[in-house]
Amino acid sequence: MTNREVAKTLDYIADILQIKDDNPFKVKAYRQAANSIYHLDEDIHYLYDKGRLGDIHGVGQAIQSKIEELVEKGSCEYYENLLEEVPRGVLDMLSIPGIGHKTVKIVYEKLGVRNLEELLHAAQEHRVRTLPGMGGKNEYAIIKGIEMLKQNSDKNTLGIVLPMAEKLLAYLMGCDQVKNASLAGSIRRGKPLVSDIDILVAAEDESGVRSKVTNYREVKQVANSEVGHIEGTLEFDIPFEVIIVSIAEYYPALLWTTGSREHLKHLLNGRDRDFIKDCGNESEVYERFHLDYIPPELREDKGEIEAATQGSLPQLIDLGDIQGDLHVHSTWSDGASKIKEMAEMARSLNYSYLAITDHSRSLPISGGLNEERLKSQGEEIDQINGLGEDIKILKGTEVDILKDGSLDFGSEVLRDLDIVVGSIHSHFKLDKEKQTERVVRAIKDEDVDIIGHLSGRLLNRRPAYELDFDQILEEAAKNRVILEINSHPDRLDIDADLARRARDYDIKIAINSDAHHKNDLKLIKYGILNARRGWLEKKDIINTWTLDEINAYIR
DNA sequence: GCCGTTTTCGGCCCGACTGTTTTCAGTCG
């Protein structure tokens, strides 16, 4: 079992306990342990071997014994017994927006509904509204919610799939039989939602590669597939396909397998595939078409071929260009790491600045700061900066944009801060006009530097709220307000298309991690992919600049 | 079920909104 699978299992245990109405602190304990394991730097098997499972924060005697069983046998008795009481299909219902553990409990117990499909029928047959506390609107929300889940069910976020793909790729690269290998398909193009993992391999000994894949620890199953293809599934039932070609065929095949279909069709323009059959690398492939090399993230037939013809492709931003992060949380609000730990991680990433932007007071569950605590936090930051480390910690806030577009702190508080990120965390369902008005008011506020996760979308979970983006882009440009690309793989907000439109308005972008744990600072790589898909260059991204340049821009 | 720079036992656990109601339970950030 991988770290993520162990974490997921502990989360399922917490869900079942919650549905069973068990001690809420016990539930919390399982969730805390799951979260720690999710963020672990080391492989859980390694910690198990070293006898260090107990060192993990939130893991005591009881949970440790369950983890040991999971690592040894791939399952544990306690969990299996809980599943006898509450089956897996019941837990899937928790993904429906507006449906929580209490609702799941009564539909399971009173209606005997055991999975999403049965729940859908129950709602359609108006059986849900017969339950206490349930009515027509709940039924409608259930039907809509299940429809949304079905639409997304064949795709997963890059945050789940990319680490698995990179691990499998590294494993394959380490095999003697494999002469070259690369990610391919939509995952190589950095699409935020992908349906499977495609990996292209150059090898002469196909059966050797096949046996290596079959022996890979994280492979769940391998199907009987045709020559040149190995198909199967990894953890969480993510499908993968390893495509095997000869060394001579590798680079042309890399083009075909990376796609997209639209890009290839436009590129070939009726020509035969043999046109590029002997190319020795991808640049050579494009050269043959008299084009500049087109990076995978741009291969969507959105003008890249025209630009490559004219030599006007953008110089895309790279991870190494990033000089700092302007939106992270700490233990002062809902973050899991201390400011110092965040700073250390930022230093290890070679950043020269890091803005601590904890939540403001209106978000009590997240431990939002009032003026007084914000001031104390500022003192701690002064102290850390006084240590003379080669990184500057900036004082900031992620200030709530309230329902009417006013801010959760007054100007007397905000003007003393280095960075102010304004974000929406409530009233997602305002109509388009009201929601737009709300954001525009925040943009016009001279204390706001950055608008965080503008559209509020959560991939596979929640659609963006209603906004008039033309109006917002116009106002952002006029007021020199920076828009964020939130790098969390569930958000990637603003998306690539909107980022590209923002660039046309000469709006600057901040690629932020929104980290709630020191390890989450590394999520910035997803934001980079998103920015590359939005054709963004270094000059567009404010946190590729020095601190002086940023200050000159936002003052 | 976990944890401890007040504690090895007693804490952990906020508040607005929604949809169902008729005074409130459930969800969510």
Which nucleotide comes closest to A365 if you measure CA to C1'? B14
Give the number of other Cβ atoms within 10 Å of residue A300's Cβ.
19
Spatial distance between the Cα atoms of A327 and A286, rounded to a whole number of angstroms = 38
Q: Are strands A509-512 and A482-486 parallel, antiparallel or unpaired?
A: parallel
- A131 CA to B26 C1', in Å? 14
Instruction: Note the pLDDT of residue A235.
Output: 86
- The pLDDT score that the predictor gives to residue A291 is 96
Q: Closest nucleotide (CA of A96 to C1')?
A: B27
- Residue A174 has a pLDDT of 94
Q: Which residues from 406-445 of A have any strand B atom under 7 Å from their CB?
A: 425-427, 429
Whether nucleic acid strand B comes within 7 Å of the CB of A87, the answer is: no
Angle at A52 between CA A46 and CA A53, to 5 degrees: 85
**How many angstroms separate the Cα of A312 from the Cα of each of A52, A303, A307?**
54, 10, 5
Å between CA of A424 and C1' of B29: 10
Res A130: pLDDT:
92
Domains with residue ranges and CATH for chain A = 3-151 (1.10.150.110), 156-310 (3.30.460.10), 319-554 (3.20.20.140)
What pLDDT was estimated at residue A154?
Answer: 83
Residues lying close to strand B (Cβ under 7 A), chosen from 291-310 of chain A, are none
A296, A188 contact by CB (below 8 A): yes
Q: How many whole angstroms separate alpha carbon A202 and alpha carbon A192?
A: 27
Nearest-CA residue to the C1' of B15? Answer: A364
Prior bond of A75 cis (ω within 30°): no
Residue A334, nucleotide of least CA–C1' distance: B29
d(CA A142, CA A450): 36
* DSSP conformation letters of A416-461: TSSEEEEE--S-TT--HHHHHHHHHHHHH-TT--EE-STT--BTTT
Q: Which residue is nearest to nucleotide B25 (CA to C1')?
A: A133
Instruction: Please give the pLDDT value at position A273.
Output: 85
Q: Following DSSP, what letter does each residue of A452-494 receive, concatenated?
A: -STT--BTTTBPPPP--HHHHHHHHHHTTPEEEEE--TTT-BS
Q: What is the DSSP letter of A205?
A: -
Peptide bond into A494 cis (omega under 30): yes
Query: Which residue type sits at A63?
Result: I
Q: In sequence order, what are the residues at sequence separation of 6 or more whose Cβ sits closer than 8 angstroms to the Cβ of residue A1?
A: A9, A44, A70, A71, A74, A235
Q: Which two tokens stand for residue A204?
A: 């002469």
Backbone angles phi, psi at A509, to 5 degrees: -120, 140
| Beta bridge mates, A221 | A233
Q: Please state whether strand B lies within 7 Å of residue A338 at its CB atom.
A: no
Residue A301 pLDDT: 98
Residue A361: per-residue pLDDT: 82
Blockwise average pLDDT, block size 10, chain A, 555 residues: 93 94 92 92 93 93 95 94 94 92 94 93 93 90 89 86 96 95 98 96 93 91 88 92 95 95 95 87 93 98 97 97 96 88 94 94 78 89 89 94 90 93 88 91 95 91 88 96 96 95 97 93 97 98 97 89
A363 touches strand B (CB under 7 A): yes
Tell me which amino acid residue A191 is.
K
Provide residues 5-44 of A with CB closer than 7 Å to any strand B atom: 23-26, 28-30, 32-33
Q: Please say whether the beta carbons of A443 and A476 come within 8 A.
A: yes
Q: Is A76 helix (H, G, I), strand (E, B) or coil?
A: coil
Q: A52 beta carbon < 7 A from strand B? A: no
What distance in Å separates the CA atoms of residue A220 and residue A239, rounded to the nearest whole number?
10
